[in-house]
Every structure is written in structure tokens, then in C-alpha cells.
Amino acid sequence: MQTPQKIAVIGSGLVGTLLAIYLKKMGHTVHVFDRSPDIRTVEFSGRSINLVMSNRGWKSLEDIGIDHEIRKIGIPVDKRAIHLQDGKLNYQFYGKDGEAIFSLSRGVLNRKMIDLAEAVGVEFKFEHKIWDVTLADATLHIGESERGEWTELKYDKVFGADGAFSRIRHRMQRQSLFDYSQEFMKIGYKELHIPANADGTHKIDKNSLHIWPRGQFMLMALPNLDGSFTCTLFMPFEGENSFNALQEEDKLVDFFAKYFPDTKEVIPDLVHDFFKNPTSYLVMMKCFPWTHEDNIALIGDAAHAIVPFYGQGMNVGFEDISVLVEMINKYGDDWELIFKSYEKSRKPNADAIAELSMRNFIEMSTKTADEKFLLQKKIEKWFSDKHPEKWLPLYSRVTFSTQPYSEALAIGDFQNKIMEEVMTTIPDIENKWNSLEVEEKIISLLSSKVH
Amino acid sequence: MQTPQKIAVIGSGLVGTLLAIYLKKMGHTVHVFDRSPDIRTVEFSGRSINLVMSNRGWKSLEDIGIDHEIRKIGIPVDKRAIHLQDGKLNYQFYGKDGEAIFSLSRGVLNRKMIDLAEAVGVEFKFEHKIWDVTLADATLHIGESERGEWTELKYDKVFGADGAFSRIRHRMQRQSLFDYSQEFMKIGYKELHIPANADGTHKIDKNSLHIWPRGQFMLMALPNLDGSFTCTLFMPFEGENSFNALQEEDKLVDFFAKYFPDTKEVIPDLVHDFFKNPTSYLVMMKCFPWTHEDNIALIGDAAHAIVPFYGQGMNVGFEDISVLVEMINKYGDDWELIFKSYEKSRKPNADAIAELSMRNFIEMSTKTADEKFLLQKKIEKWFSDKHPEKWLPLYSRVTFSTQPYSEALAIGDFQNKIMEEVMTTIPDIENKWNSLEVEEKIISLLSSKVH
């Protein structure tokens, strides 16, 4: 049991709110600050990609006993539905029977979690803008504007859960020996919408993550509870097929007719939504250290903003909380040791999922349209079903296990080398994919290769 | 001839001052702002590594006709003097006969250049702290403190020459699509001092850059005009041989006696200087873009802070100016095109010298103590002397030419592959290093390898 502390969590997003629930249940006084109004009182901006929850996220919710509440608002998704340009539809299952990720609306989930946090006694302070923090004594500087009057509020601990553009990190960044990088992708995204049928059912298979892979760009869709889908178009800002090239209505309509012909029926408000909704940026942010002495810590996107292509953004943030709580249980009142152990454990894993997420854009946008790639994944799945103790595919390690991301990345690279050899050295692999020869080859490579 | 502009240069360091001289001579009104007092009126902090000027730096001074003034305050250095731990002293010449870099004191050089700038009509505003800039209309925000009263000053153009922690860049950093990274080295540095002899002569060879290479750490010394040397100890912050491990006087004395025995005579104030002088950080900073529309541009360390191990920090900054001026001469009043062309030309070269400078720590601290490495460099020099049209060593490309850094890096990597093959495949290379066999091998590799 820890000595009760007065704790400020900056940011009422998913990670900030879940962290607050944990800390409050441990007996601390917890105030959550957010510069925005209460998300429960405003219409949701619709600027965000839908979320997917997988094992790491669920574990953090189970440990605190709120997973059942959240499962009610999600839709299980057990496969990719891959829409090829010629109209062909392929399915690729994510895991074994019953394994699924859950599609959730960020707004719905966030509102629910704020309710749950308030129910345990967390105090929310919305429309409070934190402009700065004094690191030495965990004092927050709050005011209407950056150059206006500020008031000071002192805490024992401050957690920066204030996202990719964190003000808490902004202050840490100005310290010596603070490593930091932000990199904007050349690809942006725009949200589109597939409405529900009149009877509230889904227009396309609701238990799939739908992808239209077109190489440099792609469209995807995730199901919502109300029968609709949230679609996201990922595309370069500049170039032949780009947001910059689609500034007129007829060009947009031609572009969708050419590349996404089967969406004509299901995205009725294409033109309106495309020109109304903003084109959003994707940024990858890394930094270190994540903590300052025994009083300040960054968590979630404030410590590691990643691209969304592995569906792990919220999961890595929730796993940060699991590891922080593990260190709290281990080290009690030694907050400096808690913070040092937390950042040391998490940093290599945050870097690994950042790398995996970048790579997954290529997998989603290009490789899922490649028969060879789908065959390779089929062989992996077949071998894994036969020898579950010898082979768990990378996607399953990341999504359906809680193995550290850095280990998953290393083993995934090793497995990939083996599969490349299988795919290139066994002739007529298309017809022999589930043969004894392939099985023996993989087994022999597994034992011969230095991992 | 450009339409005269009202231009603010932020930072009265070397790059800011030289840029101001160029802009003033072009007919613009130029104000240079600096948060510090006039360096001519204060004692120099002694916290900075001595500078070396090489061809790129000289070219920018020659083009504006002030190179002769500067040559008077520098000392030519034509070789490395490599002090091995066993007392042996090796020399490694940098280039061909007469080729030398120039050792300069940052303080002396900076004072001289401010004099030269004032002489042509540049106006300096010292002790003016710029806290922010409005990018849209190039307005500076100036005040005593970050949270105090500010006054506004509007310019047509603002150049951020305000170093690695640039406030101008700080504002640009908060724009979308601005890529940024800062990385602190695990190695810090501390300045030490070799005084002159009583008669004003140098205690060790004055035309050498002295290195004591010891692997993870090294000592170096550069000559000053007054007979003294500025020494710099580069060493990890943590670990067995580190600043952290040298916190007591007796440990320091033992450490120097063990690793740098021949410095006992020449660094009389070791203990005093070591504990008085600060331990400084090294940071590598990269960003992009460097300019905002047609009114704001970063230059020098504000755009690309590099580590000092290639002696190119000032040279790359001065070359920024040469390229900017080239674009000004080409595009006249189209400042947006000037800025876009400038950053496009410079960015890959800034990245290349950043990479080369990182690598050169290993070369200086480790490889210069390796006989094989010195032999390889001797072979390169011998071959280059025989076939100057076929081979210019990397160091010479970087230091004694104005070939773009990115080309120098690419060709250097190609040459290194050839030399690795020569060193590993020709038996008894120690005795055959200047044989026909080696010569023919290099010539054949040069033509066979795909570059």
C-alpha cells in the first residue's frame, strides 16, 4: 500500500482516464485536467480513426474489472476483408477460431470511461488549460491563454497523458539530455462514412476490417454499433494520387469510380464528406527520458505517438499503465525507482511497436493485394495450427498476446527470414503449400538458423 | 539587384554575423539581435571547443573579401599528432603539401567579425531577448523575460541564426508537418588548458591537432595565437572511464597519469581547471523545413546542429550562406523560391556532414591508434598522389574541397569498400603497401565496382 498522494493527470483521453481509475482505486487523490470541454457534453469531432482493442488493452481493463462494461460497446472483428480493384474479395483471418480484435468508437469509449472514473471518485477539471509545469516541484500553470494570467496548482505527482503534442513533455524537452523526435508522414487521412441500412443492419460484413489496398494509398472501414462504418482514406498529400490532386468534385468521383468501384453504393455522401471533413496528419513522436525524478511521468501518446496501422495506439498506452502499476506494486513508495523501472521497461517496446506500425502500412496497402503474400500467411497459419508450440505468427504475438513488443519484433523478423526461404526455394509452392516437404523445411530452418 | 528589405538576423554568432555582412552589402537594412551582451565587452566563457576553418569556410569569406583579415588570427594545422599511451608519437598529414586547416579561437573570431560587420553598417542590438516570432508577418516578440512584457518589431525577413536551441525554430516546430529531432550524445566534454612557454612559444608542435586516442574517450588540443593550446577531453558521462567516475582529485590525477602520462608537464592546472570548468553536452539536431513562406529562414546550427568531430560546424554554416547567396543572385526578388531552393540544396548536405561528424569520433578516438588504419590512410594518400584524378581521400573532399557533403559521403563509402578489400585480400600488405600490385588492384576495383 502506498502513502496517498495528490496526483494530477493531464489529459482526459483514454489513457489519462484509465490511469486515473487505477490511481484512485489505490487510494490517491486524483484530478484529471483537460483543456477541452467534457466530451460527454459535446458532439464528437469525427476526426479520429476508429479504435481497435486487442489483448494488451483488454488485460489492463480486466485487471481493474471494467472489461465487461467496454465489451458491450464494441464489435468483434476476426478478419480482414480485402477488396481488390477487380471486384474480387479475399478474407484473411487474424488468429485462431474466436480470436478477434474489437472495433470501438473513440468518442463512445471515452465517454464511458469518464463515467466509470467519476463513479470511483476521480475529479475531472475540464476546460482547464495547462500551459507549463515546474518540474522541480510538480506545479501546474493554468490559464485562459499562453500569454495571459496563470494560476499555480501544486501536486505531488503529475502524469502527462496529454497526447502527441503534450505540454508536459514540451517542458521536459527543454532540459539537457532530453532526446526527442517528431516526424510527419507524407501520407494523410480523411474520414468517410458508410451509413447503416434502414433497418439498422450493416451494409457490408460487420465482423471484418475492410481494406481496399491500392499500393500508395488505401481505404479502410471499421464497423460501428449503430450499423454504420467509419471509413478512412489514407493517401499521400502530394503526387499523382493524392489529396492535392483531388480538389475538384469530378476528379474525386472519377478517382473513386476507378479505384474503389464497389464503394459507390455504400458511401452515398462521398463528395459532401470528402470536402467537408479535414485532411489530417499522421505524426510519429519518440522521446526519452519519460520521467523526471520522482514526480513527473509521461504516458501514452505523450511518450510515444505512433502511426495507426497496427491498431495498437490505445493498446500500447494501456499497457504502459499495466507496467506502471506493476512497478508501483513492486516498489511501494519509492517513486523514483517506480518511474525509472517503468521507462526502462517501456521504451524499447514503444520503439518496437512504432517500427511495426510503420511497416504495417506497406502490409495493408500493398501486400494484402499480393497473392504470394496471402499464400505465405496461409502457410504460416497452417504450420502454426499444427505446431502451436513452434510458431505463433507475428500478428498474433502483437495482437493476441502480451509478449513484449520488442521480442515480437525480433521473432517476427526471424520467422520472416524462414518464410522467405520457404517461398523462394520450394518449387511449385502454390500447390505444395501444405505438404510434408514444407513442414519439414520450416522445422529444419527453425533449428538451424541462429536466432 | 534585389529590392531593399528590412531584415532581422537573430544571433550575433559567427553565422549570423557573416550573413549580416552579406545582406548589408546587398543593400538591405540589417539588424542583428542577440540575447547576450556584446562579446567584445565581456570575458569569453571558455566553454567552447576551438574552431577550425577549412575550404568551405574560407570560400564564403573570400567571396565577400574578408578572408585576409581572418587568416591573421588563425594558426595553420597540417596534420594530426597522435599521442599513443606508450609514449609513441605518430603524425598523419591531412592533405597535400601546404594544405592545412586553421585553428581559431571562437571568441577572437567572433569579435573580429562583429567589428567587420559594424564597419559595413550592420546594426547590432545586444541584450535583446527574442522570445517568439509571428511567422505570418515576421514580427519579433522581445522582452526581458518569457512571461513578462513584450514589445513587437516587424521585419520583412527574419533569419534564425540563433543556434541549436533556436527560438525561431521553436515556433516553426509547433507547425504541422515540421520534422524535428534532438539527440544528446552519451559523451560530454570539458575544456582544459596548455599554457604558453614563458617566451610565448608553444609547448608542443603548434602546427598539429594533437590527439590522445583512447577508444571510449580522447583528449585533443588545438593551438592558439598566444602560444597556448585549448584542450578538450571527450568522455562518456557514465561508466568506468567517465566524468561521473572522476569526481575526486586523486582519481583524476591517477587517471591522467595512467592514460595521458605525457600531459603532466604541459597541463599544470589540470585539477583546478577540471573541477572549475563545466562538463558540456553535445547535441545533434535535425529539422525540416528550414524556411517559412518568403519571410523566415533558419541557418547554421539553428537548422542543423552537429557534433564537432569533423571540425565542420562553422564551415557548414558558412556554406549555408554561400548557397543562400547563390539563390539570391539567381532568383532576385522571388524570396519564396530563394528559400525553397536553399533548403532543398542544403538539407541532404547537412544530413551528410552530420553523419560524417558522428563517424569521425570513432576515427579520432579509436582508429588513429590502430596501425592498420594508419597504413590504409598511407596507401590512400600514396595512390592519390600518383593518380589525383582517380582518388581524392574523403577527408580532403570534406575539408579541402567544396564538393557537396552528400557526394563526399557517397564516394567515401565507395572508396572505403575498395580499401577494405585491398587491406584484407593482399597478403603482406605492410611490406607491399606501395607496390604495383596494390596500385593495379585499386585501379581494377575502381572500374569494376558499381558506384
Of the candidates A3, A6, A10, which has an alpha carbon nearest to the alpha carbon of residue A300? Answer: A10
CA distance B433 to chain A (A): 38
d(CA A86, CA B125): 67
CA distance B120 to A85: 66
Largest interatomic CA distance in chain A:
74
Please state, in angstroms and rounded to a whole number, the distance separating the CA atoms of residues A435 and A431.
9
How distant, in Å, are the alpha carbons of A244, B141, B217, B236 from that of B233?
A: 52, 39, 8, 10
pLDDT the model gives residue A43: 77
CB spacing of A179 vs B182 below 8 angstroms: yes
Q: For residue A179, list chain B residues with Cβ-Cβ distance below 8 A.
A: 182-184
Task: Say if the Cβ atoms of A183 and B179 lie within 8 Å.
Answer: yes
Select from A48, A15, A20 the least CA-distant residue to A116: A20
- The closest CB to that of B179, out of A147, A178, A182, belongs to A182
Q: What pairs with residue B194 in β-bridges?
A: B229
Cα B147 to Cα A244: distance, rounded to the nearest angstrom:
40
pLDDT value of residue A450 = 56
Residue B175 Cα, gap to closest chain A Cα (Å): 11
Per residue in A233-270, pLDDT (tens digit) is 999 999 999 999 999 999 999 999 999 999 999 999 99
pLDDT at B283: 95
Residues on chain B touching A173 (C-beta within 8 angstroms): 182
How far does A148 lie from chain B, in Å, by closest CA?
9
Give B106→chain A minimum CA distance, Å. 23
Q: What is the ipTM of this complex?
A: 0.87
Cross-chain Cβ contact B181/A176 below 8 Å? no
Amino acid, res. A30: V
CB distance A179–B176 less than 8 Å?
A: no
Q: Could you tell me which residues of chain A have a Cβ less than 8 Å from any Cβ in chain B?
A: 147, 173, 176-184, 281
Residues in chain A: 451
**Of B17, B8, B64, residue with least CA distance to B40:** B17
Distance of CA B134 to the CA centre of its chain: 30
Nearest neighbour of B180 by CB, restricted to A177, A182, A281: A182
Measured between alpha carbons, how far is B351 from A383 in angstroms, rounded to an integer?
45
Contact by Cβ (8 Å): A243, A233: no
From B147's Cα to the closest Cα of chain A, the distance in A is 7
- Top residue of B146, B177, B186, B340 to mutate, by most chain A CBs within 10 Å, is B177
Asked if A178 lies within 8 A of B179 by C-beta distance, the reply is: no
Answer whether B181 sits within 8 Å of A182, measured CB to CB: yes
CB contact under 8 A, B184 and A183: no
pLDDT mean values, one per 10 residues, chain A (451 residues): 95 98 98 96 69 97 97 96 95 91 94 97 98 97 94 98 96 94 95 95 97 95 94 96 97 97 95 95 97 98 96 97 98 98 98 97 91 94 94 96 97 95 94 95 86 52
Q: Which residues, 6+ apart, have CB-to-CB distance to B229 below 8 Å?
A: B193, B194, B202, B203, B204, B210, B221, B222, B223, B266
Are residues A236 and A104 in contact, defined by beta-carbon separation less than 8 angstroms?
no
Candidate from A147, A177, A182 with C-beta closest to B184 = A177
Residue to mutate among A141, A180, A243, with most B CBs inside 10 A, is A180
Beta-bridge partner residues of A82: A90, A211
**C-alpha cell read off for A285:** 513522436
Q: Output DSSP code: residue A200.
A: S
Among A176, A183, A281, the residue with its CB nearest the CB of B281 is: A176
d(CA B23, CA B15): 12
Q: Which residue ranges form the domains of chain B, and what is each CATH number?
A: 6-44+55-73+105-183+283-360 (3.50.50.60), 370-448 (no CATH)
Q: Which three cell numbers stand for residue A346?
A: 517501456
User: What does the block give as the cell for A180?
Assistant: 526527442
Contact A179 B180 (CB under 8 A): no
The b/e string for B133-142 (b: 16+ C-beta within 10 A; e otherwise) is bebeebbbbb
Q: Do B322 and B342 form a contact (C-beta atoms < 8 A)?
A: no
Helix, strand, coil content of chain B in percent (nearest 5): 45, 20, 35
Q: Which of B231, B234, B213, B206 is nearest to B221 (CA)?
A: B231
Mean pLDDT of chain A, nearest integer: 95
Residues 6 or more apart in contact with residue B156 via CB below 8 angstroms: B5, B6, B7, B138, B295
Neighbours of A365 (CB within 10 A): 23
Residue B183 to residue A181, Cβ atoms within 8 A: yes
Interface of B with A (CB under 8 A): 150, 173, 176-184, 281
Residue B59's nearest CA partner among B67, B51, B48, B71 is B67
Nearest chain B alpha carbon to A283: B177
- Which residues in chain B have their CB less than 8 angstroms from residue A182's CB? 173, 178-181
The length of chain B is 451
Render each residue's pLDDT in chain B as its tens digit; 451 residues. 799 999 999 999 999 999 999 999 999 999 999 999 999 998 765 556 689 999 999 999 999 999 999 999 999 999 999 999 999 999 999 998 889 999 999 999 999 999 999 999 999 999 999 999 999 999 999 999 999 999 999 999 999 999 999 999 999 998 989 999 999 999 999 999 999 999 999 999 999 999 999 999 999 999 999 999 999 999 999 999 999 999 999 999 999 999 999 999 999 999 999 999 999 999 999 999 999 999 999 999 999 999 999 999 999 999 999 999 999 999 999 999 999 999 999 999 999 999 999 999 999 999 999 999 999 999 999 999 999 999 999 999 999 999 999 999 999 999 999 999 999 999 999 999 999 999 999 999 999 865 5
Cα separation, B209 vs B229, whole angstroms: 10
Q: What is the DSSP letter of B282?
A: -
- Half-sphere exposure of residue B152, counting CA atoms within 13 Å on the CB side? 7
Sign of CA dihedral B339, B344, B349, B350: positive
* pLDDT at residue number B313: 96
Tally of helices (H runs) and strands (E runs) in chain A: 14, 21
Whether the CB-CB separation of A401 and A99 falls below 8 Å is answered with no
User: Which chain B residue shows the shortest CA-CA distance from A181?
Assistant: B181
Q: How many Å lie between the alpha carbon of A410 and the closest alpha carbon of chain B?
A: 25
Return the amino acid letter for B217: F
Alpha carbon of B209 to those of A34, A74, A299, B190: distances in Å?
Answer: 56, 67, 47, 17
* Nearest-by-CA chain A residue for B185: A177
Amino acid at B67: D
User: Whose grid coordinates read 553535445?
Assistant: B282
Contact call for residues B194 and B231 (beta carbons, < 8 A):
yes
| Sheet of A150-154, strand order | A130-134, A139-143, A150-154
B237, closest residue in chain A (CA to CA): A177
C-alpha closest to that of B20 among B159, B153, B133, B137: B159
Are B179 and A184 inside 8 Å of each other by CB? yes
Q: What would the grid cell of residue A89 be?
A: 474479395
How far is residue A123's CA from residue A351's CA, in Å, rounded to a whole number? 33
How far CA A314 is from CA of A161, B142, B202, B279, in Å, comes to 12, 41, 63, 40
Strands (E), B87-167: 89-93, 101-104, 123-125, 130-134, 139-143, 150-154, 157-160
Give the residue carrying C-alpha cell 532581422. B8
User: Which H or E run contains B287?
Assistant: strand B283-288
Whether B182 sits inside 8 A of A181 (CB atoms) is yes
State the smallest CA–CA distance between residue A446 and chain B in angstroms: 33
- How many contacts does A have with B, using Cβ atoms within 8 A? 31
Best B133, B145, B150, B176 member to test A by mutation, with max A CBs in 10 Å, is B176
pLDDT for the residue numbered B1: 78
Which helix (H) or strand (E) segment holds residue B80: the answer is strand B79-83
Task: Express each pLDDT in A102-132 by its tens digit.
Answer: 999 999 999 999 999 999 999 999 999 999 9
Strand ranges of the sheet holding B130-134, from the earlier edge strand across to the other edge? B130-134, B139-143, B150-154
DSSP A280: B
pLDDT of residue B449: 61
Cell numbers placing A394 = 507475428
Of B150, B177, B180, the CB nearest to A281: B177
Residue type, A77: V
Q: Which of B179, B186, B237, B281 to mutate to test the interface with A (most CBs of A within 10 A)?
A: B179
Strand residues in A38-143 grouped as ranges (E): 51-53, 75-77, 79-83, 89-93, 101-104, 123-125, 130-134, 139-143
Chain B residues close to A176, C-beta within 8 Å: 184, 281
Cβ–Cβ gap B176/A184 under 8 Å:
yes
Candidate from A177, A180, A281 with C-beta closest to B181? A180
- What pLDDT does A234 receive? 96
> Which residues of chain A neighbour B177 with C-beta distances below 8 Å?
184, 281
Alpha-carbon gap: A289 to the closest alpha carbon of chain B (Å) = 11
Partners of residue B286 on adjacent β-strands: B181, B304
How close is the nearest chain A Cα to the Cα of B171, in Å?
A: 12
Among B177, B179, B184, beta carbon nearest to A179 = B184
φ, ψ dihedrals at A24, nearest 5° = -65, -45
Q: State whether A180 and B178 contact (CB < 8 Å).
A: no
Tens of pLDDT, residues A2-40: 999 999 999 999 999 999 999 999 999 999 999 999 999
Amino acid B436: pLDDT: 95
Q: Helix H segments across A158-217?
A: 167-172
Nearest Cα of chain A lies from the Cα of B449 at a distance, in angstroms, of 28
Q: A177 to chain B nearest CA, in Å?
A: 5
Question: Which residue bears the cell 592498420?
Answer: B372
Residue B134, SS3 per DSSP: strand
Cell of residue A57, nine digits: 488493452
Dist. CA A248–CA A160, nearest whole Å: 42
